[in-house]
């Protein structure tokens, strides 16, 4: 069985397969918006570290965008340091009275 094709036949076959190949390539593109803000010089690094600590990772780094999405969706809730100190003091008082 001869499996040789002319260049035009190969080109036609490739053209027919291109829509299928394009659908298969890469991951699904998410509906995203780029946000820019003026922040302190170390803020991006600190956000990356915080994302890693909280389990929002991408490769070896932090998935800052995913973490910010969780904050926006109220899956991750931020509290002030003052509130955290009050919670810690209350927890300590409860454990001492037990």
What's the pLDDT tens digit per position in 19-50?
A: 655 555 455 567 888 888 899 999 999 999 99
Q: State the Cα–Cα distance between residues 62 and 46, nearest whole angstrom.
A: 10
Domain ranges (residues) in the chain: 43-98
pLDDT of 41 reads: 94
**Maximum distance among all Cα pairs of the chain, rounded to whole angstroms:** 88
Confidence of residue 61 (pLDDT cuts 50, 70, 90): confident
pLDDT of 23 reads: 53
Count CB atoms within 10 A of the CB of residue 48: 18
**Token pair of 67, please?**
């973490």
Provide the whole-model pTM.
0.59
pLDDT of 18 reads: 66
Q: State the Cα–Cα distance between residues 75 and 73, nearest whole angstrom.
A: 5
Query: Residue 44: which of 20, 61, 25, 19 has the closest Cα?
Result: 61
């Amino acid at each position: 069985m001869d499996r040789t094709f002319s260049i035009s036949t190969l080109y036609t076959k490739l053209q027919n397969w291109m829509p299928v190949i394009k659908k298969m390539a890469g991951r699904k593109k998410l509906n995203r918006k780029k946000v820019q803000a003026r922040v302190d010089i170390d803020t991006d690094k600190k956000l990356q570290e915080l994302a890693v600590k909280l389990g929002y990772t991408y490769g070896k780094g932090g998935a800052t965008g995913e973490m910010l999405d969780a904050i926006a969706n109220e899956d991750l809730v931020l509290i002030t340091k003052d509130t955290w100190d009050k919670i810690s003091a209350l927890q300590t008082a409860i454990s001492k009275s037990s």
